Every structure is written in C-alpha cells, then in structure tokens.
Amino acid sequence: MLKIYKKICFLFDQIEKKRALSLLFLMTLMSLFEVIGIGFILPFLTVLGDPEVINTNIYLNSIYRYFDFKDTNSFLIFLGLCAFIILLCSGILKSITLYVQFRFSNMRRHSIGLKFFDRYLHQPYSFFLSRNSSDISKTTLSEVAMSIGHALIPALNLVESIISTIVIGVFLVLVDPYIAFILMSLYFTVRKYLNNIGEKRMRENVKRFKNISEVLDGIKDLKILGYEFTYKLSTVENCDKIIKLENGKII
C-alpha cells in the first residue's frame, strides 16, 4: 500500500507537494481545535453541575480570581461563551479543511490526468501502433479518477483520523490516564474483533467468487448433471454469511 502512495506522490510537482503539506498542517490545526473545544466543554459542565468545584480546582480558581468574577453565574457565562466560540471556530475550520481537502483531491485528478495526456502526446508514433486508443483514454480519464478516489482521498482521511486519534489520546492521558487506559484497551479489543470479521468475510467472498467461476466455466457439465440447485445453495449460503458478517460489523 505504501508503494502506491509513493507512486502517487511521485506524480506531484513541488508546488503540489507544498500544498499537500499545507493541507496536513490545516488538518492538524483542526484536530487541535477539536481537542481545545472538548477541553472547554468539560470545565463548563463540571461547574454547571457543581459550582463549588471553582474553589476546589486550582485551575478554575486561578481563572476565577485572575478575571475577578463577582459571582458563579458570571463565571459560568464566561466558560459557556469560551466553549461556544471555540466550538464555532472548530466547526468553521473543519468546513474549510474539508473544502480544501476536496479541492486538493479534485485538482490532483485534473493535473495528473493532464500529465498523462501530455506524456502520451510526446510519445513516438510507433508507440500508438501497438496500443488501443480507448485504453489510453481510459487511463487518462477513468483510471486517474479511480486512483484519486480509491487511494488519495482515503489516504487523506486516514491521515486526518490518525492525527485526531493522537491528539485526543494525548489529551486523555494528560487529563485522566486511567480513562485513557480503559479506552485504549477497548479500542484494541474492538479492533481485534473487527479484524476477525474482516478475515472471515474475505474467506467467504473468495468461496462465493470460486463458486460462480466454477458455474460459468463448467456450465455445460452442470446442465448435463443437473447440479444447478447444489451450486445455487452453496452460493446463497456464502452470500448469507457475508451479509451476517457485514451486519455484525456495522453493529
């Protein structure tokens, strides 16, 4: 998989690589704002549930004294406004990041397709004698779009998820290591469960394709021997197992 991403990055010029780094910075900034928003909501809810925590918590008490609040209600309004503003900024930044991410992937589909087309134009005439023009058109238009849609965009989403996971994980460890340990244990347990489901689904999918391939390759013998129902039953059984695994994965 890394080889595929290296090949895609190889198609980028210097300007496009700089834009990719800018997008990475924007995604990191978005993750930081999300964590800061969570960090402001927790104190607000804590003070809302128990106003006495202002006197017992050293950080909240320091803020309370520094800004010289007259009562608890004014401090609650302050925390609520801070949380609202940060969440609003986080939402705006996330919208901008998603737009930039979409625009970046869409423009790479355009630029890479043009690079392929330009490369084909500079090939000698003998190059086109042994190749079908429809294959060249398919590579320039369809295959480039498939590569962007099934490789670049998932890679950007993966990087965004990894950054968010790391930032939120560090935040949880700093706030409460015990809760962070429980969540990490739960994550690895669920991950192992999903991996098992994925492996089972892959095996059943291989069997399904094998059954259909055997039917199509030996359709003459199958008709003579009357094994239509047997192969149909086997294929239906594989399909039912795949559906159950997918439903179990969703749940």
pLDDT in tens, 35-45: 887 777 877 78
d(CA 201, CA 239): 10
Give the whole-number percent of the chain exceeding pLDDT 70: 74
d(CA 136, CA 112): 14
Degrees to nearest 5, angle at CA 32 with 80 and 64 = 35
- Work out the mean pLDDT of the chain and round it to a whole number: 76
Q: Do residue 102 and residue 165 come from a single domain?
A: yes
For the chain, the domain total comes to 2
Q: Do residue 26 and residue 104 come from a single domain?
A: yes
- The pLDDT of residue 251 is 42
Q: Do residue 112 and residue 163 come from a single domain?
A: yes
Q: Is the pLDDT of residue 163 over 70?
A: yes
Q: How far from each other are the two terminal CA atoms of the chain, in whole angstroms?
A: 28
Q: Do residue 135 and residue 216 come from a single domain?
A: no
Q: Do residue 18 and residue 89 come from a single domain?
A: yes
d(CA 239, CA 224): 26
Domain boundary among 175, 193, 225: 175
Residue 200 banded pLDDT, cuts 50, 70, 90: confident
- Identify the domain containing residue 149 by its residue range: 2-175
Average pLDDT over residues 174-194: 74
- The pLDDT of residue 227 is 64
236 or 120: whose pLDDT is higher? 120
Average pLDDT over residues 121-136: 73
Q: Do residue 7 and residue 130 come from a single domain?
A: yes
Domain boundary among 175, 205, 240: 175
Residue 104 banded pLDDT, cuts 50, 70, 90: confident
